[in-house]
Structure 1
Amino acid sequence: MADRTIEREIRVEAAPEVVYEVISSPEHLREWWPDDADLDPVAGATGTVSFGEKPDGKVVALTVVEADPPRRFAFRWDYPEGETATEANSLLVTFDLVAAGTGTVLRFAETGFDEASEAQYRDHINGWNYFLPRLVPYVDRLVSAP
């Protein structure tokens, strides 16, 4: 099952600087993706994202691998607790931002599913299909707030 990648492209009506904050800052991430986020959006930093209510929720470790505002934010995640994220034990998520007129084109990709089960791959497809569309209306509310 090599070369399984999840890719999406979304147009967001906000400047790349705004979109970058929404995809990298815990206070913004919580509004469209995880239920909780604890991370410092700088390369090399480790943190977590949480889904669901404690104590039954799922806490997932992540490591920021690239933070290049306002162009790119990337992290490795979903690796075993207590281990360091590597290409062999984690998934890589990248957000590339390209200015497009008054807005931004966000190019999303998640890679690293070569050794993953079909169930995990499908779970991530379903997850991103649910969460990524929530980003646009959140940014719309953010930029239109007085």
Structure 2
Amino acid sequence: MEYGSIEREIHIDAPPEVVFEVVSRPEHITQWWSDGADVEATPGAVGELVWGDRADVLPITVVDAEPPRLFSFRWCYPDGEADASAASLLITFELAPSGAGTRLRLTETGFREMGWEAAKLAEHYRDHVAGWDVFVPRLGEYAARLVSAP
């Protein structure tokens, strides 16, 4: 297996403006992905994603924020510190209007560049594939509920 990138694409029954908010604002991120989040959708902003009771805190750095079409950030820094010079994974959400909804394309890249030995690379890649298999549909369901709620 190549372990180069992970890609997922789904149609979401919500407009791009809503989906952008869902992927970029802490109060929404915590509804479909992490247990806690602190991030501002501004290029260069450093924030964090939290799982559990702060048991797992990962820094993130916003790379691009172009509402309502693009949001990307780096995460999984080797030393657990946001460091622009270090290898890290890049997550990109591309949003495009599709009928009355949005086509969301998620791409996660940078696995080979992390410098992990083969077994660790394979393990992290598999973990992220399994994670996105759960979280991308959850993201879509959550965004659709936001626009259908009274």
TM norm structure 1: 0.92
Structure 1: 5+ residue runs without aligned partners? none
Q: 1:85: how far off?
A: 3.2
Q: Is contact 2:76–2:89 with CA below 8 Å preserved after alignment?
A: yes
Q: Is contact 1:61–1:77 with CA below 8 Å preserved after alignment?
A: yes
**C-alpha spacing 1:3/1:126, structure 2 compared with 1 (3 Å):** closer
What is the DSSP-based 3-state SS (H/G/I as helix, E as strand, rest coil) of the residue aligned with 1:137? Answer: helix
Alignment match, 1:44? 44
Q: What one-letter code is carried by the residue in structure 1 that aligns with 2:38?
A: D
Once the two structures are overlaid, the 10-residue window that deviates more, 100-109 or 127-136, is: 127-136
Q: 1:129: how far off?
A: 1.0
Q: Is contact 1:2–1:113 with CA below 8 Å preserved after alignment?
A: no
Alignment match, 1:145? 149
Alignment match, 1:68? 66
- Percent identity over the alignment is 51
Q: 1:83: how far off?
A: 4.5
Q: What one-letter code is carried by the residue in structure 2 that aligns with 1:142?
A: L
Q: What one-letter code is carried by the residue in structure 2 that aligns with 1:13?
A: D
Q: What one-letter code is carried by the residue in structure 1 that aligns with 2:25?
A: S
What is the DSSP-based 3-state SS (H/G/I as helix, E as strand, rest coil) of the residue aligned with 2:40? Answer: coil
Alignment match, 1:109? 107
Q: Distance in 1 between matches of 2:140 and 2:71?
A: 17
Q: 1:81: how far off?
A: 2.8
Moved over 4 A (4+): none
Q: Is contact 1:93–1:110 with CA below 8 Å preserved after alignment?
A: yes
What value does the CA root-mean-square deviation take over the aligned residues? Answer: 1.5
Q: 1:4: how far off?
A: 1.5
